[in-house]
Amino acid sequence: MTHEAAGVPPTRNDDDRPDDARPAEPQTAPEATDSPDTSDASAGGASAASASSPDSSDGGPQGGDERPEARLAKAVQVAEQALIEFEIAVETFQVEVENFSRLHHQKLGPMYARLDELDAQIAEARAARTGDPEDLRKAKEARDIVMPMPGVDELFHDWMDSDGLSPEASAMLTEQPVRPPKRVRPSEEARRLYRELARKAHPDLAQDEPERERRDEFITRVNAAYGRGDVELLKELAAEWAAGPAKPLPPLSESEELYARLEWLSRRKELLTVLAKELEESAIGSMLRMAPDDPDQLLEDIGDQLLGEVSRREAELAELVQ
């Protein structure tokens, strides 16, 4: 962090002056040891700014001669550490939710599927007995839940096989090489735009290394758009190149940089708060919070309940088909 240079008084020879006329030695002010509150720092720096202003109660600045920028820098440091801890907590919970979701699907998924199938069979058996239109409608709805949607293969254009796996996933599971996707033949307009951009932005036309890096990054995006045959994106890239490189923004002062950092930290904390709330309110997150210390036992308990439901439905179906 840069510091502003203190003012330097003009040089003079004080040796010729009487002792009682010489200026007193300056007293070094003690450093302030207090730190801004974490929550205030995370909220965007408003409290940090107020902490750096003079105290109206005694008329003097807090912390002796400490510069406002130094106190603001401390607020930024505290807010950064608080955000890191919060982010670690959110990421940890997200991993736990994802792991629990996979275990839940692996262990209990077949039971849920069995319950859906039994519900469909029970509804169909009841409709066959009564012939009531409402029972027939319910039977169809129950069966639709079990049966896959028609036209799924056509919708996904061979993205998935009969087991619901993409070709890439199947290849990974069987340790087979992944087949490359079908190539898209770009249109004539896409080819024209690509040639124009390649001629204008080719890295070999760069005069220095920074310019070469800029052109490399740009041509990478051009190649990706051309590979997909995306004419609209190629047009956008052409307009971007015609506009030229973005002009650098004027440098910020030390205070402006610190306030901008606090604002970013505050926005990041708000996004993480939303994510944490979504995780906690999700079905899996709610289940996980019921038994955070022993989620495996929770799965066992839910499995036992589902087995009981399966037994009851099987008994109900047996009575209907007698």
Q: How far is CA 295 from CA 102, 230, 315, in A?
A: 12, 47, 31
pTM of the shown model: 0.46
**For range 293-302, the mean pLDDT:** 83
pLDDT of residue 134: 92
CA angle 97, 98, 103 (to 5 degrees): 95
3-state secondary structure 50-98: HHCCCCCCCCCCCCCCCCHHHHHHHHHHHHHHHHHHHHHHHHHHHHHHH
Nearest alpha carbon to residue 196 among 166, 160, 225: 225
How does pLDDT run across 33-55, given as a tens digit for each residue? 343 333 343 344 444 334 344 44
Tokens 């109900």 sit on residue: 316
Please say if the pLDDT value at position 16 is more than 90: no
Report pLDDT for 170.
Answer: 55
Chain mean pLDDT for the chain:
74
Share of the chain above pLDDT 90, in %: 25
Q: What's the number of CA atoms in the CB half-sphere (13 Å) around residue 208? A: 1
Handedness of CA 269, 273, 274, 276 (dihedral sign): positive
DSSP state of 203: G
